[in-house]
Structure 1
Amino acid sequence: MFSNSQSKNPSLPFPSLVLYFQSNLKFGLSELIYEFSNPSIDKRKRLKHTVNKTKEESTIEKKMNHKSKSIHDILPLDLIHIILLRVPIRHLACFRCVSKLWCSLISDPNFAELHLHLSLAPTHGCLVRLNDSVEAYLIHLEEVFNGDNYQLMKEVSFPFKKQPPSGFCVMGSCRGFVLLSREPYFFVVWNPVTGFRKRISYSCMFHRSKLRCLKFPRDAHLYGFGYDASRDDYLFVVASEDGGCQHLDCLCLRTNSWISLDAALPKPLDFMKRRPPGLFLNDSIHWLCYSHKEQYSESILTFDLKERSFSNISLPEQLRMHGRTTATIVTLGGYLALNYQDYVERKTHIWVMKEYKVHSSWTLYEIPCLEFEPLCLSNGSAIIALDPTTPVCEPLKFAKYNIREELLQYFTCPPHLGQERYFFPSYTVYTESLLLFPNDNNKHKNENKTNNFI
């Protein structure tokens, strides 16, 4: 239903690779079977003893050869590499133990980058924070509807040694990294898969940028977390107002440097009344902007991290005709999407932009229920969502809608994911990855391997 751009990869799909291995491993035996499958009746009598003897010798010889061969003698290294690129992240850790070569291959930064972009079925984690604490639950969204799904949820701790005295919040995610803001003046970059975490102080940077005591996300009119591939750097972009003056600044997390940007904001900053975090996609951060006077969606504001410039994406005409429309944006399978609640027809409308920045490519999908908050796309056709209508103190509920089959399913979490919950939980969805965080100098070359808590 959603065409997957990753299918353009010229490599063989995984099922074809399996058949290829099977055919090659059985090739020698197939020749032997063919040679003795069609002899004449006389030859069968004469060759009966020979055939049995040959089979016994062949079986013994194969067992001896099999014991002496390693997996690299059976499978070419290039083929192993292709297969591993298609293995889900949560299973790759087991394959590190196969051999030193496999461990080195999976630990290679280039492998992590390729796996993020070439994986046929990227996996998503959802961090659900029930109350104001450093504890959260990690849920593997693609697998909660399969089999023994309770094992796919586990309790995790945010990367703080001690509970923050003044609280913290999640600022967004990008390429497998989750950005946390901890008062008074700290950011924490965290990869939940690898366990990597890095603390970054930004207190002195505000003095250099002539800003006052700014706290996130309270004082930011606009903010977002993204990646600049041209500079191999993760950036935090923030727009704020100080004494009537508007500021647009960027924190480069790799170099811990604060940059004042010259790009002019397209309109007054107070249009972002709801102040949701920006959404990173296609080298840009996206925000859904609202009218300066009315609280309805008007367009999608984008900031290109490479060009350091703003632009706008128009909403579908049908959506704008509704007037006072409150929508949210999300990425589904690498596509920009809009989520809108139609209370008249009691449906959820999801608009997907099939071609980035091509207005005519907006495509509508209807979900036959209200309050369907999409989190990610699974297997190219199933939208997984969180049900925000779950009453307080009751277990959380997830929903999955298969667009092809028009099938709506629900999954209820274990009871302990609802106990002592006094408000709707905050959550963050991230794409699981093995990526390492870029370092600015060699003295921190082992920083990505640390497991020390902050």
Structure 2
Amino acid sequence: MADYLPEGVIVNILQRLSVKNLICCTCVSKSWYSLITSPEFISSHLNFTSATEKDASLLLLRRCLADSECYSLYTDEKFCTWNDTLKFPFTSINSYFTIIGNCNGLLCLSDDRVLYLHTIILWNPCIRKSIVLPKPNLIYNSFGTFVQSFGFGFDPISSDYKLVRITYVDDAQEPLPQVEIYRLSTGMWQDISYLALDCVIYNRSRPAYINGSTHWIANSIQRGDLIVSFDMCREVFRKMTIPASLVNLESFSSKDVVAYKGSLALVSWNLSGNDPGFCVWVMKEYGVAESWAKHFVMTYQNAGGGIMRPLWVRKNGGILVARQDGRVVSYDVVGDGVEDLRIRGSSSEEFVRSVHVDGYMESLVLLGRGPMFDDAHVRNILPLLNFGDGCGSSVNSYGCCYLRSLGNGFKHSHGSYAAHGAM
């Protein structure tokens, strides 16, 4: 029947199918394979999915169990409803990968929690395609210890995926950071340090991609805490103020930005003090400081006590939280209801920190790439550490260095850019 249908009709039908079904459809014929793997169809399917599934959001959950990273998809509306388990093909040389962010079904991962090997991966788990990025310009071998922040997003003007990296060198005489940008279209890093970012993004500050820009919590000597954004289209930095009551409020010691119903939201929390707890603010009108509105407040005493870490703001207004006892629970917007999501893990601090939740949308991005981008192939070219007696451990050619011991300078030195308690 397909032989008698115009291509436009076939495209209209196919773009309504799920990613899993489309992968099966590539086996129908050579013409269907060429159509589905074409950049035009991948873009068309992505746009259709984005327009029709705004109210049926998926959430990506990552947690670490038994020395392995587990990735699963859940529905936001009924988080207890399991949707799919994603096979994670990579092994971190650290305890687990840092999830920089995700955009249009593409996850950006960095293996940088302790050791410097500059392994950055773009991964589409739904189609099992991935890319290992080249090493950035600033690496340990050339500059010594440093801390770094990343932001990942999409440029709709050029239809390009971009990764920006802001690096602060510990012993640098110049206080301004080095800024680099990677564009998937070119496969290269470019130095854009001339943008002269004059504030410090907190180490491990969680980035949030919203409205075409990546956002972080940063600090300025003159202005205190603020939000820094990087426009993926114009490739410029901008600054936003946070709610005035939070600028110099020491009781809320940690802050992070997340997306909430397409808006920028700020989660602030403290683990100690007279009234430990967390609150959520939402920017009703993007870029307008006066539009910040307090959305949710929860004290740890009202939540049943114990140390908690906010993870995500759900579309129904509830807050997903990782508790110290290893449970992931959801608190409703009124603050008097708790939903146990039946997700269990260890009570260790390392496990609680490894839990990550983010919005997700399935896509075909990277499908048109050849077999060199299959997960199995990419896994085989990643750095491998073989720690025997702790000495002379080797790293393959991509790793770019040889570790003499686990206690050497290849570990992060946080220096003056201390961690901010980010999610």
| Alignment of 1:224 onto 2:151 | yes
| CA distance in 1 between partners of 2:48 and 2:13 (Å) | 10
* Bigger helix fraction: 1
Structure 1 residues 402, 199: closer, same or farther in 2, change over 3 A?
A: same
| Alignment of 1:410 onto 2:347 | no
Percentage of matched positions with identical amino acids: 17
Q: Please say if residues 148 and 167 of structure 2, whose CA atoms lie closer than 8 Å, have aligned partners that are also in contact.
A: yes
Q: How does 1:120-139 map to 2 (within 5 A)?
A: 120-130=54-64, 133-139=67-73
Counterpart residue type for residue 120 of structure 2:
F
Counterpart residue type for residue 230 of structure 2:
F
Counterpart residue type for residue 154 of structure 2:
Y
Over alpha carbons, which structure has the higher Rg? 1
**1:252 alignment partner in structure 2:** 183
Structure 1 residues 385, 93: closer, same or farther in 2, change over 3 A?
A: same
**1:355 alignment partner in structure 2:** 285
Q: How does 1:164-243 map to 2 (within 5 A)?
A: 164-165=92-93, 169-175=97-103, 176-182=105-111, 184-202=117-135, 205-206=136-137, 212-213=140-141, 219-242=146-169, 243=172
Deviation readout 1:89-116 (Å, 9 max, x if unpaired): 6xx6358779969x88987311123312
Structure 1 position 421, deviation (Å)? 8.1
**1:261 alignment partner in structure 2:** 192
Q: How does 1:331-346 map to 2 (within 5 A)?
A: 331-341=259-269
| Alignment of 1:386 onto 2:313 | no
| Alignment of 1:328 onto 2:253 | no
Q: Please say if residues 335 and 353 of structure 1, whose CA atoms lie closer than 8 Å, have aligned partners that are also in contact.
A: yes
| Alignment of 1:119 onto 2:22 | no
Structure 1 residues 95, 127: closer, same or farther in 2, change over 3 A?
A: same
Q: What are structure 1's unaligned runs of at least 5 residues?
A: 1-68
**1:66 alignment partner in structure 2:** none
Structure 1 position 133, deviation (Å)? 3.5
| CA distance in 2 between partners of 1:165 and 1:98 (Å) | 37
Structure 1 position 126, deviation (Å)? 2.7
Q: How does 1:30-49 map to 2 (within 5 A)?
A: none
Q: Please say if residues 62 and 355 of structure 2, whose CA atoms lie closer than 8 Å, have aligned partners that are also in contact.
A: yes
**1:305 alignment partner in structure 2:** 232
Q: How does 1:85-164 map to 2 (within 5 A)?
A: 93=20, 108-109=41-42, 110-130=44-64, 133-142=67-76, 145-146=79-80, 149=81, 151-152=82-83, 154=85, 156-160=86-90, 163-164=91-92
**2:391 alignment partner in structure 1:** none
| CA distance in 2 between partners of 1:304 and 1:132 (Å) | 39
| CA distance in 2 between partners of 1:250 and 1:179 (Å) | 14
1:201 aligned counterpart, secondary structure: coil
Structure 1 position 251, deviation (Å)? 1.9
2:48 aligned counterpart, secondary structure: helix
| CA distance in 2 between partners of 1:165 and 1:78 (Å) | 45
| Alignment of 1:317 onto 2:254 | no
Counterpart residue type for residue 220 of structure 1:
V
| Alignment of 1:377 onto 2:305 | no
| Alignment of 1:279 onto 2:208 | yes
**2:366 alignment partner in structure 1:** 437
| CA distance in 2 between partners of 1:132 and 1:299 (Å) | 38
Tell me the TM-score normalised to structure 2 length.
Answer: 0.67
Q: What are structure 2's unaligned runs of at least 5 residues?
A: 301-307, 380-423
**2:296 alignment partner in structure 1:** 366
